[in-house]
């Protein structure tokens, strides 16, 4: 199994890899032996906090040094767990290689399909190299139907070789025993907590969230609190917080340890994820498993994950985001209904299912190369 370089911040991809490996061990009955590989990432570490230098060093680590280091690490089946490392297929036997394709964010940014101004030129060059590698492999796993459509559009990969296998949710994500779904957590003097889990990149729509929080403060009062888990706000986002007068309404928890994350979800009154695009959207699934209602974007993969168990909104409509949050915070019947629906839907996404379907892909690739 070929991992991402430590320090790149690809947390979701590594969660996927870790849970998949545990699932394979549980169902494999000794038939599956998993070995792990990752590039050293020494240049990026040496660059330290100098961002421009770190970006260049990271590209050299991944596309030059890592490419060379991967040579000779072929197994019966090679699994590259992150599509951004698809270029490793040039160092492996492509007929025995599987890649997981999570999303086409960078390709969509380059194609101007997302309403943002960012154009990651250096990243796009790397994506082209990785896409060229992906075109060579035996099979691609996508984590959603949305990602499958994007893969086929941007790479012209053979459709019959693409397998949609959704992610799962760990059993540690569950409601606390004392939680009362009909009683708002903030009803007895505690501030209503609106949670977002993830980084602050351009497609996460943090600006839209902040503007919707400002509307909620005006409508529901100064007790509204936006809790942010994940990487730091950008300078422009911090400036927006100041312009909107939200300094006392934003709590940034940083990167929360995995063991503490279920408690953070359970402590929130709702999870807000109106992303401009997602390849899967693991935080909304984790929130539903913890009994916390979700409001998510109607774009990308999020409707596939949420189904009818949450409220879907147009991510560019700040008024619609704020109205959905206000409705959910003030409507006890709706809150209880979505909590029940979310718990039921989350039970259908298991890492065991992910592992079984992934193992079937491995077996097919292995059989074709015997």
71-92 pLDDT, tens digit per residue, is: 989 999 999 999 999 999 999 9
Residue 182 in this model has a pLDDT that exceeds 50 = no
Query: What pLDDT score was predicted for residue 187?
Result: 42
CB-CB contact of 206 with 360 (8 Å): no
Model pLDDT for residues 34-72, shown as the tens digit of each residue: 999 998 888 878 877 777 787 788 888 889 999 999 998
80 plus 132 within the same structural domain: yes
244 plus 322 within the same structural domain: yes
CA atoms within 13 A on the CB side of 31: 12
Q: Which two tokens stand for residue 182?
A: 């009909």
299 plus 330 within the same structural domain: yes
Residue 17 lies in a domain: yes
Place of tokens 């492996």: 92
Instruction: Calculate mean pLDDT across residues 138-144.
Output: 98
pLDDT top residue among 179 and 43: 43
- How far apart are alpha carbons 271 and 195 in whole angstroms? 5
Instruction: Calculate mean pLDDT across residues 22-38.
Output: 88
48 plus 122 within the same structural domain: yes
358 plus 327 within the same structural domain: no
354 plus 307 within the same structural domain: no
277 plus 131 within the same structural domain: no
124 plus 21 within the same structural domain: yes
How many structural domains compose the chain? 2
Reported in sequence order, the residue ranges of the chain that DSSP labels E, i.e. its strands, are 78-80, 97-101, 139-142, 162-164, 193-197, 225-229, 250-254, 270-273, 294-297, 311-313
- How far apart are alpha carbons 197 and 295 in whole angstroms? 13
pLDDT top residue among 127 and 315: 315
50 plus 151 within the same structural domain: yes
Residue 28 lies in a domain: yes
The values of phi and psi at residue 360, to 5°, are -65, -35
CB-CB contact of 135 with 155 (8 Å): yes
272 plus 197 within the same structural domain: yes
Q: Specify burial of residue 219 (Cβ count, 10 A radius: 0-12, 13-18, 19+).
A: middle
Residue 6 lies in a domain: no
Instruction: Calculate mean pLDDT across residues 5-21.
Output: 89
Residue 183 in this model has a pLDDT that exceeds 60 = no
The rounded percent of the chain whose pLDDT value lies above 70 is 95
Segments forming the whole domain that contains residue 99 = 11-168+350-368
26 plus 116 within the same structural domain: yes
Residue 320 lies in a domain: yes
Residue 182 lies in a domain: no
Residue 253 lies in a domain: yes
Query: What pLDDT score was predicted for residue 369?
Result: 87
* pLDDT bracket for residue 189 (50, 70, 90): low
Task: Report the chain's mean pLDDT, rounded to a whole number.
Answer: 91
Instruction: Calculate mean pLDDT across residues 7-36.
Output: 88
254 plus 164 within the same structural domain: no
Model pLDDT for residues 197-256, shown as the tens digit of each residue: 999 999 999 999 999 999 999 999 999 999 999 999 999 999 999 999 999 999 999 999
Instruction: Calculate mean pLDDT across residues 268-294.
Output: 97
* pLDDT bracket for residue 188 (50, 70, 90): very low
Closest CA to 17 of 143, 171, 157: 143
| Buried b / exposed e along 253-286 (16+ C-beta atoms within 10 A) | eeeeeeeebbebbbbbbbbbbbbbbbbbbbbbbb
Residue 45 lies in a domain: yes
Closest CA to 310 of 301, 300, 302, 319: 302
CATH number at residue 335: 3.40.50.2000
Signed CA dihedral, 331, 333, 334, 339: sign only: positive
């Amino acid at each position: 199994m070929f991992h991402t370089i430590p320090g790149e911040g690809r947390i979701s991809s590594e969660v996927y890899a870790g849970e998949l490996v545990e699932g394979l061990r549980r169902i494999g009955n000794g038939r599956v032996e998993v070995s792990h590989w990752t590039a050293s990432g020494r240049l990026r570490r040496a660059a330290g906090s100098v961002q421009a230098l770190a970006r260049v060093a990271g590209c050299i680590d991944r596309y030059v040094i890592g490419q060379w280091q991967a040579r000779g690490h072929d197994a019966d089946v090679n699994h590259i767990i992150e599509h951004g490392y698809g270029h490793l297929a040039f160092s492996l036997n492509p007929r025995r290689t599987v890649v997981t394709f999570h999303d086409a964010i960078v390709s969509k940014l380059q194609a101007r399909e997302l309403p943002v101004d960012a154009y990651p030129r250096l990243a796009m060059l790397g994506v082209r190299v990785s896409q060229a590698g992906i075109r060579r492999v035996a099979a691609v796993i996508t984590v959603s139907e949305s990602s499958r459509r994007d893969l086929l559009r941007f790479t012209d990969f053979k459709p019959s070789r693409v397998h949609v296998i959704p992610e799962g949710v760990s059993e540690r994500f569950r409601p606390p025993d004392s939680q009362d779904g009909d009683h708002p957590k903030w009803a007895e003097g505690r501030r209503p907590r609106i949670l977002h889990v993830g980084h602050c990149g351009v497609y996460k729509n943090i600006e839209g969230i902040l503007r919707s929080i400002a509307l909620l403060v005006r409508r529901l009062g100064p007790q509204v609190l936006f809790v942010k888990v994940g990487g730091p706000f950008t300078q422009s986002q911090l400036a927006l917080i100041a312009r909107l007068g939200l300094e006392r309404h934003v709590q940034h928890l940083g990167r929360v340890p995995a063991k503490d994350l279920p408690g953070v979800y359970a402590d929130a009154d709702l999870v807000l994820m109106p992303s401009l695009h997602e390849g899967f959207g693991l935080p909304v699934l984790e929130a539903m498993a913890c009994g916390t209602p979700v409001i998510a974007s109607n774009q990308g993969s999020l409707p596939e994950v949420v189904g009818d168990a949450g409220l879907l909104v147009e991510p560019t409509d700040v008024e619609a985001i704020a109205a959905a949050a206000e409705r959910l915070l003030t409507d006890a019947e709706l809150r209880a209904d979505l909590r029940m629906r979310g718990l039921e839907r989350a039970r259908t996404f298991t890492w065991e299912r992910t592992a079984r379907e992934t193992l079937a892909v491995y077996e097919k690739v292995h059989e074709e190369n015997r």
